[in-house]
Structure 1
Amino acid sequence: MPKYRKTLNDLKAPYIKDLMKQIETQSKDTLILWAVQYSKIVMLPIWLKYRPEDERPQNALDSALKWKDKIIKLPEAKKAILSCHQAARESEEIPMAQGVARAMAHSASTIHSARHCIGLALYGALAVAYETLGTDAKWEALEECAAQECGRMLEYLKEISIEKEENPAKIFWKD
């Protein structure tokens, strides 16, 4: 199997910086909602195309929302998230499935640290590009497609953002 990139990794890319700037203005609860809802709308259907019998990513997303709504405790939610990461490891032969599973695991992990929500873009946007263009596409085309997906992610975040959020998440980005 040819080697492929698993993630976008340029945190200084304009499409990532724009997302990070908007993320920094929002509360952890808003970021959880954004990442989980976007994952359910865009990432989960790709996962189900390749792994229709595997409910671990769906369970991770649902658990994150249940934790946010104080229905379950953190250890239960973390167990579902770790299971989603395992699903990603088990899907290495299908880059699109692995990428969206990692994106969904990071989206759900936003309950642990708001910084995890950027994983939606770093893994998910590239997975969408692979799904759209194929794994043999040139990197420049894949990156452009991923950048467009990041733009859609940003628009969705702006739609649900709280203007002048009084309690934005404190996020320290690692380079």
Structure 2
Amino acid sequence: MKLRKMLGKMDSPECQALMRQMETQSKQTLAAWAVAYAKERYLPLYQSAYPAEERLPAALEACAACLRGEGAPAEGKAAQKALRQIASETEGPVAQAAARAIATACAAVQTPTNAFGFLLYGAAAFAYHSAGVRSSQAVYDPLATEELARALASLRAASVPGELNPATLRWNC
């Protein structure tokens, strides 16, 4: 069986709830949450396959620093470019999905809907890490749902009540 790059069903309750919650938040809140969540959940999966690799963690930290106002926008864009390159070079389904999740999370500062998209890569990374790469879709789908539910809880906890400037999100799925 060929493994999918992303897992998650757009019409699932978890995905729909994530999209509705994201619609209430600002671009800055979404980007900061996405980067923090990717660092917490998907960086360890990447590092389990590439423990000596320093470029990805450094680029992720550069994105986080820019979101905190500690770096120039050009530094953030350079870090995003580096993350995309690293993700394209990464081998192995778990590490590759994790690297793609991280790169996509960091791009949420430019494209707020990436705050959702990175989770689909992350769900794949989590499922393949949890069940191995020789399981069936019937095994992976519930694991992806579990990860998306975890992300929803995290987003709700990070959300700003009554956010004054919610991002304009257009879902193309």
Shorter-chain TM-score: which interval?
over 0.9
Query: The residue matched to 1:113 in structure 2 has which SS?
Result: coil
Runs of 4+ in structure 1 displaced over 6 angstroms?
A: none
Amino acid of the structure 2 residue aligned with 1:104: I
Kindly report which structure 2 residues correspond to 1:65-84, keeping only aligned pairs within 5 A, or say none: 65-84=64-83
Quick check: 77-86 or 4-13, which moved more? 4-13
User: 1:128 pairs with 116, 120, 126, which one?
Assistant: 126
Per the alignment, residue 23 of structure 1 pairs with 22
Kindly report which structure 2 residues correspond to 1:7-156, keeping only aligned pairs within 5 A, or say none: 7-8=6-7, 10-92=9-91, 94-156=92-154
**Partners in 1 of 2:168 and 2:146 — Cα distance?**
27
Using the TM superposition, give the Cα deviation of residue 9 of structure 1 relative to its aligned residue in structure 2, in angstroms. Answer: 5.9
The answer (yes or no) to whether the contact 1:64–1:108 under 8 Å persists in 2 is yes
Amino acid of the structure 1 residue aligned with 2:135: A
**Partners in 2 of 1:57 and 1:22 — Cα distance?**
29
Q: Is 1:159 the equivalent of 2:157? A: yes
The answer (yes or no) to whether the contact 2:8–2:145 under 8 Å persists in 1 is no
Alignment deviations for residues 79-99 of structure 1 (CA, whole Å, 9 cap, x no partner): 11121122111123x100000
The answer (yes or no) to whether the contact 1:50–1:97 under 8 Å persists in 2 is yes
Query: The residue matched to 2:98 in structure 1 has which SS?
Result: helix
**Partners in 2 of 1:134 and 1:49 — Cα distance?**
14
The answer (yes or no) to whether the contact 1:60–1:108 under 8 Å persists in 2 is no
Using the TM superposition, give the Cα deviation of residue 119 of structure 1 relative to its aligned residue in structure 2, in angstroms. Answer: 2.2
Using the TM superposition, give the Cα deviation of residue 12 of structure 1 relative to its aligned residue in structure 2, in angstroms. Answer: 2.2
TM-score, scaled to structure 2: 0.93
The answer (yes or no) to whether the contact 1:60–1:105 under 8 Å persists in 2 is no
Quote the sequence identity (%): 35
Q: Is 1:172 the equivalent of 2:160? A: no
TM-score, scaled to structure 1: 0.92
Amino acid of the structure 2 residue aligned with 1:31: L
The answer (yes or no) to whether the contact 1:32–1:64 under 8 Å persists in 2 is no
